[in-house]
Amino acid sequence: MSIRDAMSHITHGTYVIGTKTREKENLMTAAWLSQVSSRPACIAVAVSEKHLTAEMIEKTGSFTVSVLSEEQYGEAYRCGTISGREADKTAGELVEHDEKGNPFLKDAAAYLSCKLLDTVKVTDHILFIGEVTEGNGTPKKDMVYCMEEILTKGKGK
C-alpha cells in the first residue's frame, strides 16, 4: 500500500472558509480542519500558501468556517474550483456576515467565526489556528469528504 493509498482513508468534514478585506470577500472550500482546543474553543485549518484566502487571513487576522450540510455539494464544488482572484464567489450565494464582516453560508449546518491566534508553515500549506469567537449550529447533517469523493451522510442532531 502506498502512502497516498493510506492517506485516502482519512475522512474529513467539508467546510467553506470565508474572508473579507476592504477590497473583496472570498469563500474557499477546505477539508483539512480540526478542533485543537476546547477552552478556549480553537480550530486549525490548512490552506495552500498560494491561495487568496491565505493572503486575506494573514492580512485581516480573522475568518469564518461554514460547516457544509449534506445538501451543499454545489457550494462545495463552486467554492473549491473557482479562484477568488478571477471571480466573486460570494455573488449569488446566500451569505451572512459575522461581526468582523467575514462571509459565511447562511444555509450551512453550522458556522464559526474565528480570530487568528497563530500560523504554522507546513511545506506548501499554512496552518491557521483560530479562536472561535462566535458560532451557531443547526440540526442539519454534515457533509463528509474522503480523497476527492463525497461519502456517506454525516451525523446530524
What are 111-133's pLDDT values in tens digits?
A: 999 999 999 999 999 999 999 99
Task: Tell me: pLDDT of 145 over 50.
Answer: yes
Question: Of all residues in the chain, what percent carry a pLDDT higher than 90?
Answer: 77
Instruction: Please name the residue that has the C-alpha cell 451543499.
Output: 72
Q: What is the pLDDT of residue 157?
A: 44
Give whole-number Cα distances, 12 to 58, 77, 88, 133, 142, in Å.
Answer: 24, 15, 26, 23, 10
User: Is residue 145 a contact partner of residue 14, using CB atoms and an 8 Å limit?
Assistant: yes
Ordered domains of the chain (ranges, CATH): 3-146 (2.30.110.10)
Question: ω into residue 40 within 30 of 0, thus cis?
Answer: yes
Task: Tell me: pLDDT of 4 over 70.
Answer: yes
Q: What is the pLDDT of residue 151?
A: 56
* Residue 21 CB-half CA count within 13 A: 12
**Rounded Cα gap, residues 19 and 37, in angstroms:** 22
**Rounded Cα gap, residues 9 and 147, in angstroms:** 8
Task: Tell me: pLDDT of 137 over 80.
Answer: yes
Burial call 70-94: b when 16+ CB within 10 Å, e when fewer: bebeebbebbeeeebeeeebbeebe
Task: Tell me: pLDDT of 87 over 60.
Answer: yes
Task: Tell me: pLDDT of 146 over 90.
Answer: no
